Amino acid sequence: YALLVMLTGALDVRELLGEDVGTRAAFVLSQRIEAQCLADERVLSARATTTITQGRAVATVQVTDHDGVLRFTLAITDVSVEILKVF
C-alpha cells in the first residue's frame, strides 16, 4: 500500500496527456511508472501498460517484491492519480 501512495504522489505527467498525444506518450508514461515503482528498494520488478484516451491515461501495473505480486490499475489525469483497482 505504501508503494501505491508513493506512486500516486510522484507522477508528473501533464505534458503526456494532451489531446494530440500518440502511442509514444503511453510508452513513456509506462516507463515512468515502472521507474517510480523500482525506486522503492523492496520492489524486485515492475511492469506497466498504459493507454491514453481523451487526456486520461489508464495504467495497469504489476509489481513483484519478496512477498509476491501486486497488480493494480491507475487512472491518471493532469490533476490526479486515482487507484481504480487492486487485485
pLDDT score recorded for residue 73: 95
pLDDT score recorded for residue 6: 59
Q: Which three cell numbers stand for residue 26?
A: 503511453
Under DSSP, is residue 68 helix (H, G, I), strand (E, B) or coil? strand
| pTM above threshold 0.85 | no
Q: Among 24, 30, 28, which residue's Cα sits nearest to residue 49?
A: 30
pLDDT score recorded for residue 7: 60
> Which residue ranges in the chain fall short of pLDDT 50?
1
